[in-house]
């Protein structure tokens, strides 16, 4: 049926538009745009709605890319997949900590570096994680809350094992 073919084409176009929207949101944030500014540009009512939209778009992109990335990671061995998993876990915990960017001078850099971990090629992932762990080991780092400290230690263990 022609209608079914057209429906599949709509789904594919929507996926491309979603990926483009996610990329634009991320570029706007890296460029200094605030969530309220992004919400207004998207025609959304609040900062929270814009953040939720970005989260939904990122989750959809993750579902599409996960099988390809897992295949590539497997080629490097189990260690890469574990490092990626633990880096993403740390990133999520940092994202849930509203005070993170005020904790120490390089806090925003750590968050932004970990933001690249889900899509980073294996070699770059390792380098990103090593840089994050070095930043989090600096003497000026305040004592992190237990869950964050545990996530950092799990990531450090994955790098040593991997």
Same domain assignment for residues 134 and 158: yes
DSSP 43-111: T-S-HHHHHHHHHHHHHHHHHHHHHHHHHHHHHH-HHHHHHHHHHHHHHHHHHH-TTHHHHSTTHHHHH
> For position 155, what pLDDT does the model report?
94
Same domain assignment for residues 157 and 81: yes
What is the mean pLDDT for each group of 10 consecutive residues in the chain (162 residues)? Answer: 86 86 87 92 94 86 69 74 90 84 84 86 87 87 84 91 60
Same domain assignment for residues 58 and 83: no
Q: How far apart are the first and last CA of the chain?
A: 50
Answer whether residue 37 is part of any domain.
yes
3-state helix, strand, coil in the chain (%, to 5): 80, 0, 20
> For position 44, what pLDDT does the model report?
95
Which of 16, 40, 66 is where one domain is finished? 66
Same domain assignment for residues 33 and 84: no
Domain of residue 159 covers: 77-162
Same domain assignment for residues 132 and 89: yes
> For position 117, what pLDDT does the model report?
87
């Amino acid at each position: 049926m022609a209608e079914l073919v057209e429906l599949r084409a709509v789904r594919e176009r929507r996926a491309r538009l979603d990926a483009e929207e996610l990329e634009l949101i991320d570029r706007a944030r890296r460029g200094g745009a605030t969530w309220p500014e992004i919400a207004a540009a998207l025609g959304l009512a609040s900062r929270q709605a814009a953040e939720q939209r970005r989260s939904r778009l990122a989750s959809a992109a993750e579902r599409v890319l996960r099988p390809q990335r897992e295949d590539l990671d497997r080629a490097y061995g189990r260690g890469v997949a574990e490092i990626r998993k633990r880096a993403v876990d740390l990133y999520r915990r940092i994202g849930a900590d509203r005070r993170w960017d005020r904790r120490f001078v390089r806090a925003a850099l750590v968050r932004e570096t970990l933001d690249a971990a889900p899509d980073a090629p294996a070699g770059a992932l390792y380098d990103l994680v090593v840089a994050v762990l070095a930043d989090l080991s600096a003497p000026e780092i305040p004592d992190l809350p237990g869950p964050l400290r545990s996530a950092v230690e799990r990531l450090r263990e994955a790098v040593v094992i991997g």
